[in-house]
Amino acid sequence: MTTLILSDVMAEAARLLDEAEAVDLPIRLIGGTAIRLHSDGRLVALFEREIRDIDLVTNRGQGRKVAEFLQRQGYDPNRTFNAMHGARRLLFYDEPNGRQIDVFIETFEMCHVLPVAEHLHRSPRTLPLADLLLTKLQIVTLNAKDRSDSYLLLAEHDLGADNPELIDTDRIADLCARDWGLYRTLQLNLERLSAGVAESPLSEADRVLVAQRINGITTAMQRVPKSVKWKARARVGDRVRWYEEPEEVDHGRY
């Protein structure tokens, strides 16, 4: 039987979104493919990298429908992982192309828990830009691909509010005001991005833009009032670990 899966990862991500929309299945794209889907193409070549995974999010209660949908599209489930973790995460493989699909259900959980499904319907094909940036910057050990994706997103999109095509600083600040740990991780990563932007492949004009946007996000995070509980945790600071170690899954299969 001829596989439905396309060899080009961006084309395949778009195909999955089209097929899901046709059956009214609420899934949205996150990760490097989502960031590139929003790109106008001007800077993508500067941050060219191999993308081997397609990451999706959906609402609670949709896991079984998403699993059935992906199997119809030609994907091979990790049955053991899905049986154990299917209430919050699913894992599928594209054997011919050596790719993996992660499906996050309701929340995106790595070093912190991001309630991504609450904004699932604010953008038609991906999560809003603020949430895409948050999924990158909530990783305590920021790797090269997450750093590059963050620079690409920050260089191509302005800050704003109530617009999924802008990086919603109110959204970022609100989540950080709920959770000192998330605030601290974003604070550290924004400092790292700011310190490293001079070594990025961006033009001087784009470096200035990125620096301004990093400062804008940082200012928004600082400005929002914090609870007594938040302030108490802030006083403890880095003496107590404020993040979770990301769960290891079967990424080594490819």
Listed by start position, the domains of the chain span 9-253
Rounded distance, CA 208 to CA 171, Å?
23
In the chain, how many H helices and how many E strands? 10, 9
Residue 92 β-bridge partners:
77, 101
pLDDT at residue 24 tops 90: yes
Average pLDDT over residues 98-126: 94
Q: What is the pLDDT of residues 143-182, one digit of tens each?
A: 999 999 999 999 999 999 888 789 999 999 999 999 999 9
The mean pLDDT of the chain is: 94
Identify which of 62, 41, 40 has the alpha carbon closest to the alpha carbon of residue 121.
62
Yes or no: say if 112 and 185 are a contact pair by the CB < 8 Å rule: yes
pLDDT at residue 78 tops 60: yes
pLDDT at residue 60 tops 70: yes
- Cβ neighbour number for residue 175 with a 10 Å cutoff: 21
Q: Residue 250: what pLDDT?
A: 56
Q: Read off the amino acid at residue 139.
A: I
Q: What is the pLDDT of residues 186-224, one digit of tens each?
A: 999 999 999 999 999 999 999 999 999 999 999 999 999
pLDDT at residue 10 tops 70: yes
Average pLDDT over residues 16-32: 97
pLDDT at residue 252 tops 50: no
Average pLDDT over residues 139-144: 94
Q: Confidence band (pLDDT; 50, 70, 90) for 249?
A: low
